[in-house]
């Protein structure tokens, strides 16, 4: 059987005669033949204006070359005196038609013009090659009567030839082989070049930047659906809300804090990471009655207020009281509690995001800050799996947490990769299929950085992704300065600057550690420096880092490390 493009069962035409002949050629010709149905093209011969061309069937062979076949259904009649042609269909209706031999001849020369435009064809250097044309009339049995000065019998086929199409094709090729100057066979490479020209398979894909924008529309709808929990929160004063990465916790926490402030309550929106606090503060800008800060920023402000008002250094007092304590987890919370005790409470409502990062000592001063402990509102959002700071917290909210059960941020592919490292209540995957997680395999730091540079350049130039929508996250902060230095030396587009969370801007591409990037997200995440994942802390870091990606996730490391991460079982 010959190779056919398209497959005969997929061919479409208003002419049953064409389809019957195409299918029969495919069945009867040998495996060296290629048969193409309904071939169309546009050429610009000699740089002139565009010229359209088409042929019903094109037959290719490595030795015999090309044969352009024009097919006419029905009963065909001609009058050589006035050069008119007509066809009578099965209903007896007569239609004027063009001279099929003239059509076939024009198709032959037009297809040669198109072939000569192909760079791939030119590189083969074949020169003159065998090419001819023929006419086939599947519905008549006496097509020989149509012979004329421009219609030799050797290139005419009819129903009588259906049983021996191989012989008919061979005869048509032989007829043209004796015409003109010597020719060279096109060979297998020539056949492949013509298939690529007239029957290539191509799949378009959206730019990654377009994909990110389109998927963001779906994310918004999913998160709005998830945000219906706000109606439940309206009726409760102390609530704990749990959910995996991407379930919309931060957005819902921000919205709840904004609504509380709009209702006239003095509200504090609190988190652990400075980068997340800056992000939330920017989004809440202009909301009267709402303060946004990290826990330790609140500590600094209250300690300074107490010092200005009472002249006491409460942080120094805390250090003396707890000489073996930790500055961030013991001294500052104690100093904050003393400051609140001295200055008095301030907030009607407190909303805490990423509460799994808050230590046990944080909660007492927060409760003290509430104006009416029995009536003030406390909303706590957390992901129990994201305890990468290695602290536990006795959160002062009774009962079991409400659970957000659907991922609204990641694509399905990213969700599947990140949630391999998740431990907690099952989270449903998002309704966004997305593209597969890709690996940048390289053996050492220099080679890995080079791969990242090439990827970033492609994302910025070919995929038109905005620099601020890309983040390179380091799982292991060890050697951070060295890695940043190597990245700075990469030949990136001159307008692009690398920076940390604090440097966020339209032309800034973020390079940060996973720990400092908690609570944030980007359209594209490149996860780096994870070559030795083994402990539970590494698992949590991978979960957090991978789940920061909205639309595209790239893992850069050794082959062994990448495979281990993607093959990790829950």
For residue 273, the model assigns a pLDDT of 92
For residue 205, the model assigns a pLDDT of 67
> In this predicted model, which residue has the larger pLDDT, 294 or 248?
294
Q: Is 211 a member of any domain?
A: no
Q: Is 130 a member of any domain?
A: yes
C-alpha dist (Å) from residue 313 to 245, 318, 331: 40, 9, 12
Number of H helices, E strands in the chain: 18, 21
Signed CA dihedral, 188, 193, 195, 201: sign only: positive
> In this predicted model, which residue has the larger pLDDT, 91 or 406?
406
Long-range contacts of 308-313 (CB under 8 A, 24+ apart): 309/342, 309/343, 310/342, 312/342
Instruction: Quote the tokens at residue 94.
Output: 């007569």
Q: Is 473 a member of any domain?
A: yes
3-state secondary structure of 445: helix
Q: Is 336 a member of any domain?
A: yes
- Determine if the peptide bond prior to 214 is cis (ω within 30°): no
Range of lowest pLDDT (29-38, 74-83, 253-262, 510-519):
74-83
Q: Is 208 a member of any domain?
A: no
Q: pLDDT tens for residues 144-180?
A: 888 888 889 999 999 999 999 999 999 999 999 866 6
Q: Is 217 a member of any domain?
A: no
Work out the percent of the chain whose per-residue pLDDT is above 90. Answer: 64
The distance between the two most distant Cα atoms of the chain, rounded to a whole number of Å, is 119
Instruction: Quote the tokens at residue 31.
Output: 């495996």
Closest to 141 measured CA to CA, from 68, 71, 75 = 75
**What's the whole-number average pLDDT of the chain?**
89
Task: Locate the DSSP E strands across 6-83.
Answer: 34-43, 51-61, 65-71, 75-79
Q: Are residues 400 and 442 in the same domain?
A: no
Q: pLDDT tens for residues 302-332?
A: 999 999 999 999 999 999 999 999 999 999 9
Let me know how long the chain is. Answer: 570
Asked if residue 85 lies in contact with residue 100, where contact means CB atoms within 8 angstroms, the answer is: yes
Instruction: Quote the tokens at residue 28.
Output: 């009867």
Q: Are residues 155 and 80 in the same domain?
A: yes
**Domain carrying residue 466:** 438-567
Other C-beta atoms closer than 10 Å to the C-beta of 85 total 20
Burial class of 31 by CB neighbour count within 10 A (0 to 12, 13 to 18, 19+): exposed
Q: Are residues 55 and 159 in the same domain?
A: yes
For residue 442, the model assigns a pLDDT of 94
Rounded (10°) CA dihedral 290, 296, 302, 307: -150
Q: Is 213 a member of any domain?
A: no
Residue finishing a domain among 359, 380, 405? 405
Closest to 472 measured CA to CA, from 526, 546, 419, 535 = 526
Q: Are residues 179 and 254 in the same domain?
A: no
For residue 390, the model assigns a pLDDT of 46
**DSSP H or E run through 549:** strand 549-557
For residue 534, the model assigns a pLDDT of 58
Q: Are residues 445 and 373 in the same domain?
A: no
Distance of CA 180 to the CA centre of its chain: 54
For residue 570, the model assigns a pLDDT of 40
Q: pLDDT tens for residues 54-94?
A: 999 999 999 999 999 999 888 877 776 777 778 777 767 77
For residue 495, the model assigns a pLDDT of 81
Task: Locate the DSSP E strands across 94-192.
Answer: 94-97, 131-137, 156-158
Q: Is 250 a member of any domain?
A: yes
Instruction: Quote the tokens at residue 485.
Output: 């230095």
**DSSP H or E run through 343:** helix 332-343
For residue 389, the model assigns a pLDDT of 47
Q: What residue spans of 157-207 are helical by DSSP H?
A: 165-177, 187-198
CA distance 285 to 17: 71
Q: What CATH code is carried by the domain that includes residue 366?
A: 3.40.50.300
For residue 425, the model assigns a pLDDT of 82
Range of lowest pLDDT (241-250, 380-389, 456-465):
380-389
pLDDT band at 533 (very low <50, low <70, confident <90, very high): low
Q: Are residues 121 and 16 in the same domain?
A: yes
Q: pLDDT tens for residues 212-221?
A: 888 888 888 8
Q: pLDDT tens for residues 484-508?
A: 999 999 888 878 889 998 888 888 9
Q: Are residues 56 and 170 in the same domain?
A: yes
CA distance 296 to 326: 13
C-alpha dist (Å) from residue 147 to 108, 267, 306: 20, 95, 110
CA distance 254 to 276: 11
For residue 393, the model assigns a pLDDT of 57
CA atoms within a 13 Å half-sphere pointing along the CA-CB vector of 521: 23
| Residue 542, pLDDT above cutoff 70 | yes
pLDDT band at 556 (very low <50, low <70, confident <90, very high): very high
Residue finishing a domain among 405, 430, 447? 405
**3-state class percentages of the chain: helix first, strand second, coil last, to nearest 5:** 45, 20, 35
Q: Are residues 469 and 397 in the same domain?
A: no
User: What is the total count of domains within the chain?
Assistant: 3
Q: Are residues 479 and 392 in the same domain?
A: no
| Residue 559, pLDDT above cutoff 70 | yes
Q: Are residues 17 and 160 in the same domain?
A: yes
Q: Are residues 563 and 478 in the same domain?
A: yes
| Residue 569, pLDDT above cutoff 50 | no
CA distance 260 to 300: 25
Q: Are residues 396 and 448 in the same domain?
A: no
For residue 92, the model assigns a pLDDT of 76
For residue 149, the model assigns a pLDDT of 84
Residue finishing a domain among 354, 389, 405? 405
């Amino acid at each position: 059987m010959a190779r056919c493009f398209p497959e005969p069962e997929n061919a479409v035409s208003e002419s049953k005669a064409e389809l019957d002949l195409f299918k029969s050629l495919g069945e009867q010709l040998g495996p060296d033949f290629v048969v193409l149905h309904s071939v169309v093209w546009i050429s610009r011969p000699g740089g002139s204006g565009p010229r359209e061309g088409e042929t019903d069937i094109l037959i290719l062979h490595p030795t015999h070359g090309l044969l352009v076949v024009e097919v006419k259904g029905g009963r065909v009649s001609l009058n050589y005196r006035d050069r008119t042609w007509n066809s009578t269909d099965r209903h007896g209706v007569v239609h004027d038609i063009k001279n099929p031999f003239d059509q076939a001849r024009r198709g032959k020369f037009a297809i040669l013009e198109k072939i000569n435009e192909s760079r791939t064809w030119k590189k083969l250097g074949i020169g003159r090659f065998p090419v001819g044309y023929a006419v086939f009339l599947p519905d008549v049995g006496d097509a020989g009567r149509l012979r004329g000065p421009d219609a030799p019998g050797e290139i005419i086929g009819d129903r009588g030839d259906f049983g021996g199409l191989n012989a008919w094709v061979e005869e048509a090729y032989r007829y043209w082989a004796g015409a003109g100057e010597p020719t060279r066979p096109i060979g297998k490479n020539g056949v492949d070049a013509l298939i690529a020209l007239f029957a290539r398979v191509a799949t378009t894909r959206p730019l990654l930047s377009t994909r990110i924008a389109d998927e963001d529309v779906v994310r918004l709808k999913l998160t709005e659906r998830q945000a219906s929990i706000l109606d439940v929160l309206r009726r409760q004063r102390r609530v704990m809300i749990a959910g995996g990465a991407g379930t919309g916790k931060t957005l819902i926490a921000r919205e709840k804090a904004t609504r509380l402030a709009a209702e006239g309550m003095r509200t504090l929106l609190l988190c652990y990471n400075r980068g997340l606090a800056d992000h939330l503060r920017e989004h809440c800008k202009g909301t009267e009655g709402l303060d946004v800060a990290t826990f330790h920023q609140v500590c600094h402000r209250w300690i300074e207020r107490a010092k200005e008002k009472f002249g006491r250094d409460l942080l120094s007092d805390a250090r003396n009281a707890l000489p073996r304590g930790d500055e961030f987890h013991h001294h500052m919370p104690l100093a904050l509690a003393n400051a609140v005790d001295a200055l008095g409470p301030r907030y009607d409502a407190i909303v805490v995001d990423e509460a799994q990062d808050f230590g046990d000592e944080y909660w007492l001063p927060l409760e003290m800050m509430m104006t009416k402990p029995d009536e003030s509102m406390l909303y706590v959002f957390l992901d129990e799996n994201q305890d990468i700071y290695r602290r536990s917290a006795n959160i002062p909210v009774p009962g079991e947490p409400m659970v957000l059960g659907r991922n609204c941020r990641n694509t399905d592919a990213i969700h599947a990769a990140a949630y391999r490292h998740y431990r907690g209540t099952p989270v449903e995957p998002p309704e966004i299929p997305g593209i597969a997680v890709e690996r940048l395999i390289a053996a050492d730091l220099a080679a890995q950085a080079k791969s990242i540079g090439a990827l970033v350049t492609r994302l910025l130039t070919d995929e038109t992704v905005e620099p601020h929508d890309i983040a390179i996250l380091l799982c292991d902060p060890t050697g951070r300065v060295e890695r940043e230095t190597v990245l700075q030396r990469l030949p990136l587009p001159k307008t692009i600057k690398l920076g940390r969370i604090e440097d966020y801007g339209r032309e800034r591409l973020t390079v940060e550690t996973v720990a400092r990037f908690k609570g944030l997200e980007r359209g594209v995440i490149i996860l780096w420096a994870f070559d030795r994942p083994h402990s539970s802390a590494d698992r949590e870091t991978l979960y957090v880092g991978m789940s920061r990606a909205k639309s595209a996730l790239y893992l850069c490391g050794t082959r062994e490390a990448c495979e281990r991460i993607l093959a990790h079982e829950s």
